Amino acid sequence: MLWIALFMPELPLQLAERAQPTPTACVIADGPALRPLVHCANAAARTEGVNAGMPVAAARALASQLIVLQRDENAETQALHNIACWACQFTPSVCVQPAQGLLLEVGSTLLMHGGLSRLLVRIGKGLVELGYHASPGIAPTPLAAWLLAKARALGMRTRTCRETQLLPERLATLPLALLDWRTDTLQTLQGLGINTIGQCLRLPRDGFIKRFGAERRLDLDKSIGSAADPRHWFTPPDTFANRIEFGFELNDTTMLLFPLKRLLRELEGFLRARSAGVQQWQLLLDHMNHGHSCIVISVAAPERSLERFLLLAREKLAQLQLSAPVLALGIAADKLQEFSEHTQGLVPDTQSRAIGWNHLIDRLVTRLGNHKVYRLRAVDDHRPERAWQSRVATAGKQTSAAMPALPRPLWLLRTPRSLLCDNDTPLYQGRLQLMAGPERIESGWWDGEPARRDYYVARNPHGETVWIYREHQRHSRWYLHGVFA
């Protein structure tokens, strides 16, 4: 097995900064409501003298433009949940480290990604595009990988370890403070001059267990692979929802595109992990005074491309008049559908052309409205006027009855037009010459609108091809019903 640990330092601050293309001075507040303290501060705030642990009032005095956000542990949990959903596209074996990061078992998927180096580059680049940053650690055991990642976040130089027998050596210099042990245990060990994992491993086993407990020794054994370390695998849900709170007001819809792109990238990764697509998703805006807006974006066929989603969202936002400033932005998708990836060839095939038409339909529907663009679909009825229906272009899976094998005109008249005759020869801009037929249609006796007709394909002297018929009666009139392109 091979594990990649992703330790995410100061996650509350990362959540606040991912909504801004250029972060300003910002702190996360925590503690008593009457005297909140700075939990963490970003680089812009630290340059003005703001540090973790100081009162928020003192921080405001140092930085007049300081943005102060209250820590939301539920938002942190939801953020890790969504990052785990995104990470499942790289491996199905993902574990969540509460409030801190992720563990990914990638030993079985390295070949698919072209090796460890390429996989690390993809994960690192993807996290940056989502607005996060993480310190990676690689080791054959999950706890060792986690310790290496935490050490890297502290600025320590660590090396990738892929062999279990090398773990004691690679972990030897790491400080015991990286382990989630009780403070009194760490202080006791430090009082004995034991400050690193290597020193702790060299202590007599029985004596260590007697004084500090079997659980502490088990942690050391798990880190070097001499004891099993089972983990609970993360299972991605059937729906997706995420939001970004800004901490300030936005009045321009174009400024929503930056955080929206990050949310849609998470959605794309989630859909890739589920091998699924969506035909509809919602863009949610939270306004001042607790108002909400919901924009529904639909596509003609299941889709999961960030570029496609963002293009359609840009069209919608360009038409939107904000009723009030926006304080938060969210997206939701709750109906997953099967999706099959299509590889573009040198010569466009039928599926490529269909995808191109679907993309055009999506843009027209987004710009003109859902009920102004329609598709035509064949219906299982022999009467030509009842053999088709119009339906909303993006409404569900497009299914239809089989088209007749015989020729049909693209343009049908709403009401058949009676034709003049010359010695029983129909006239339409001249005498019509019958080219094909008759095609007999008898249908509708069960619903009170029977049709008993003989259809012909005919051509006039100008070369126009039309579709005409006459009823099953002697000396009945001729009617024009359609025109071929």
Average pLDDT over residues 153-165: 88
Q: Quick one: pLDDT band at residue 442, thresholds 50, 70, 90?
A: confident
Average pLDDT over residues 340-352: 56
Q: Quick one: pLDDT band at residue 34, thresholds 50, 70, 90?
A: confident
341: pLDDT strictly greater than 80: no
179: pLDDT strictly greater than 80: yes
- Give the residue, 407 or 126, on which the prediction is more confident: 126
Q: Quick one: pLDDT band at residue 357, thresholds 50, 70, 90?
A: low
- Name the average pLDDT for the chain: 86
Q: What is the pLDDT of residue 355?
A: 53
Q: What is the pLDDT of residue 400?
A: 53
Average pLDDT over residues 426-443: 88
Q: What is the pLDDT of residue 473?
A: 73
Cα–Cα distance measured from residue 197 to residue 175, given in angstroms and rounded to the nearest whole number: 6
Q: Quick one: pLDDT band at residue 128, thresholds 50, 70, 90?
A: very high
Beta bridge partners of 256: none
Beta bridge partners of 427: 420, 431
Q: How much of the chain, in percent, has pLDDT values that exceed 70?
A: 89
Query: Which residues fall within 8 angstroms of residue 150, CB to CB, at 6 or more apart?
Result: 7, 135, 137, 178
Q: What is the pLDDT of residue 289?
A: 77
Question: Measured in whole angstroms, how far is the alpha carbon of residue 129 from the centre of its chain?
Answer: 13
354: pLDDT strictly greater than 70: no
Q: What is the pLDDT of residue 266?
A: 94
Q: What is the pLDDT of residue 411?
A: 83
Question: Is the Cβ–Cβ distance between 482 and 413 less than 8 Å?
Answer: yes
Which is the CATH superfamily of the domain at 249-260+270-338? DNA polymerase, Y-family, little finger domain (3.30.1490.100)
Cα–Cα distance measured from residue 212 to residue 234, given in angstroms and rounded to the nearest whole number: 32
Start-to-end Cα distance in the chain:
65
- Give the residue, 254 or 4, on which the prediction is more confident: 4
Cα–Cα distance measured from residue 452 to residue 70, given in angstroms and rounded to the nearest whole number: 76
Pairing of strands 26-30, 67-70: parallel
**Cβ count within 10 A of residue 107:** 15
Q: Quick one: pLDDT band at residue 403, thresholds 50, 70, 90?
A: low
Cα–Cα distance measured from residue 5 to residue 105, given in angstroms and rounded to the nearest whole number: 9
68: pLDDT strictly greater than 70: yes
Cα–Cα distance measured from residue 303 to residue 322, given in angstroms and rounded to the nearest whole number: 28
Model confidence pLDDT, tens digit, residues 191-231 = 999 999 999 999 999 999 999 999 999 999 999 999 999 99
Question: Is the Cβ–Cβ distance between 19 and 13 less than 8 Å?
Answer: no
Q: What is the pLDDT of residue 79?
A: 93
Model confidence pLDDT, tens digit, residues 75-104 = 999 999 999 999 999 999 999 998 889 999
The upper half-sphere exposure of residue 255, i.e. CA atoms within 13 Å in the direction of its Cβ, equals: 15
Q: What is the pLDDT of residue 474?
A: 67
State the Cα angle at 268 between 263 and 270, rounded to 5°: 95
Cα–Cα distance measured from residue 278 to residue 286, given in angstroms and rounded to the nearest whole number: 23
Beta bridge partners of 456: 468
If 0-12 CB within 10 Å is exposed, 13-18 middle and 19+ buried, where does residue 51 land? Answer: middle
Among 37-46, 87-96, 190-199, 474-483, the least confident range:
474-483
- Give the residue, 238 or 99, on which the prediction is more confident: 238
- Rounded to two decimals, the pTM is 0.74
Query: Which residues fall within 8 angstroms of residue 335, CB to CB, at 6 or more apart?
Result: 278, 279, 280
Q: What is the pLDDT of residue 446?
A: 80
Q: Quick one: pLDDT band at residue 344, thresholds 50, 70, 90?
A: low
Q: Quick one: pLDDT band at residue 393, thresholds 50, 70, 90?
A: low
185: pLDDT strictly greater than 80: yes
Q: Quick one: pLDDT band at residue 466, thresholds 50, 70, 90?
A: very high
Question: Is the Cβ–Cβ distance between 178 and 150 less than 8 Å?
Answer: yes
Domain coordinates of the chain in residue numbers?
3-24+65-224, 249-260+270-338, 411-483
- H helices then E strands: how many in the chain? 15, 21
Q: What is the pLDDT of residue 345?
A: 52
Cα–Cα distance measured from residue 151 to residue 137, given in angstroms and rounded to the nearest whole number: 9
Query: Which residues fall within 8 angstroms of residue 319, CB to CB, at 6 or more apart?
Result: 367
182: pLDDT strictly greater than 70: yes
Torsional class of 275: left (φ above 0), alpha (ψ -120 to 50), beta (otherwise): left
